[in-house]
Structure 1
Amino acid sequence: MTAGLEAAFTEIFGRAPDGVWFAPGRVNLIGEHTDHNDGLVLPFALPLGVSVAAAPRDDGMIEVRSRHAATAVTAPVVGGPVVAEGWSPDRAWAAYPVGVARVLREHGVGGASLLFDSDLPRGAGLASSAALECATALALRDLYGVDLDRPALARLAWRAENEQVGMPCGPMDQSASLLCAAGHALMLDCRSGLSSRVPFDPAAAGLALLVVDTRASHALTGGDYARRRAECARAAELLGVDALRDVTDLTAALTALRDPVLRRRVQHVVTENHRVEATVGLLRAKAVAELGAMLNASHLSLRDQFEVSWPQADTTVDAALRAGARGGRMVGGGFGGSVIVLVPADRAAKVKDAIVAAYARRGWTAPEFHDAVPSGGADRLTAAAS
């Protein structure tokens, strides 16, 4: 991909790029919808992601192009939130890199020409937008010699998605893309920003972790995600805490809330934080095979308490378990996207066949499968061309 991207950049812009950068997508092993509640998450990076060839320019403009989008976008680095400018749908993808550039302008970043490529499926709940942001952030940091470490860069990329794109997400995706390491999951405290790497090697335990792209695409900039976040904020306000992460007595909290919807939201967030801590304990004890129960409990909670699952996700988990999987759950914000399935390696083919058959019986588009191998975080792939 790197050589082809460099050649394409040179053809389009009439000069060689200063380098190529890569940022991965992520899978969240466990800890869903806890990030925007100041809670705990446990993601790991995928080998799939977004690459960008980049070079600075001196006119104060950001020109972004993609090998997967017909529309090229040129916009000034100086400007307010992109979301307020009413960009057309065919330009919407460019709001992420332009938004990052506008946030990084505070640190001396100027114009740039950017050409993107990706092998990460969009709409699959694997953080393609965060990979786009983090590849941009890392490239612009290096192009302009900005003195920002990776945790700070992740926070700025997160800010860009919130302020520039208008997506009220938590910081997990950007942190995972920039901070993860191969063979590890990332235990992240979304309030403090502190993180630690936890060894995670399913293959060493004779297991495989599959990502199942259900082909039910999602778009979290719609109202459902924002509504869930607002419900959590309202529940925290009624309970007199800064965020649901601060609820320590679940029984008392559920008793204090009259609204059954808010009770369900609180129950999910509080128990999901506990599942993150329990999962870290299992990983440190090398009890990877025992993760299945955590995944199953998380999925049921997301389906019944947080109400963000969708038919293909529920069918995927059910078919996988019936075929011998250890566990499975939806990942990402919900309402479409992907599922992860933990399965004995020697049963992976049987589990895939069972899932495909379940989709065929319902007349759904066949799912796509990816091996979820814990991989390294974002990095510069090439130096400046000579």
Structure 2
Amino acid sequence: MIQRAYLDNNATTPTDPRVVDEMLPYFSEQFGNASSRNHAYGWEAKEAVDHAREQVADLIGANPNEIVFTSGATESNNLALKGLLNEGNHFITCATEHKAILDPAESLAAKGIDVEILPVQSDGLLEINELQKKISDHTRLVSIMMANNETGCTQPIKELSTFTHSNQGLFHTDATQAVGKIPVEVSDLGIDLMSFSSHKMYGPKGIGALYIRKGTKVGSLIEGGGHERGIRSGTLNVPAIVGFGKACELCKQEMREEGSRIKSLRDKLEQSLLSIEGTQLNGGKENRLPNVTNIAFSGVDSERLLLSLNGLAVSQGSACTSAVVEPSHVLKAMGIPDQLANSSLRFSLGRFTTDEEVDFAIQKVTEAVSKLRA
């Protein structure tokens, strides 16, 4: 019997060994600065970055010159919002967004941006009617997360972007949890800007991207050198960019088969845990990622449950808010009572999850819930 299992892949994924192999030469052999244009070391680094940019763009159906490398999705979200919105602009987002959208929105509101936060239904989905009620000719930007990090709920992005464009607004999506797990084609979905990150798709941490549709003007947050077409200055992290590119290439090749296998494991885990008395699924069974389930264990405090799961890595919600002792804002926005929200755990499977790990998780959770209730 295995001794531990990692089912917290929405927090971060292990870097695929094939990605690590691709990165290694760029630490000490081909270590040049991609902005050094006077010698072969710099040329090699720039060539590697250009190739990675093509790999990243290919995964989402974009043009390479529409990809701006950042330190991750949080920076990409901040760049999209703060690089577009000015005092007097109207901005619309959603109550179940990641804090990397909600916190910048709060600071923008303090600077004179008119911020509107839309409610969601009990399954986590945003109704187009809610957007129709609030959007106006003054709406500069709408930002709706493609797939929720806590429940896996996937929003009707194409419908939302189409309506946004019909009102002359721009559409941004935080697709951090979606890219690499489900097919994402930016042109087909009508996306103007999209944030995503390497470490959610078996690439290294500290590197991400903002897709900016050609012709969309975004101001810079970081200045000093004019890197990334002047949108995001700073020496490029060549090893991480190379790893990001390779991770995207692997996702493009393996996503469909991988998603089917992971979904089968997720369903097995979910069915077993929901057979425990006093449990419920948070969110709908449809319109969600194949790797996530969020389950409430009535009458059991999730913190105590987590402490009882020796060797099993799961979470109460977003890793970015795990230090905050309060009910998940996502579950609360879906109308789930505080008591149940505080009894909920997120299980997120990944590329390297095995059947044995799922069996281990089922056994651990079942035993711990029984013991705590007793």
Asked if TM exceeds 0.5, the reply is no
TM-score range, shorter chain: under 0.3
The structure carrying a bigger helix percent of its residues is 1
Normalising by structure 1, report the TM-score: 0.25
Is the strand fraction higher in 1 or 2?
Answer: 1
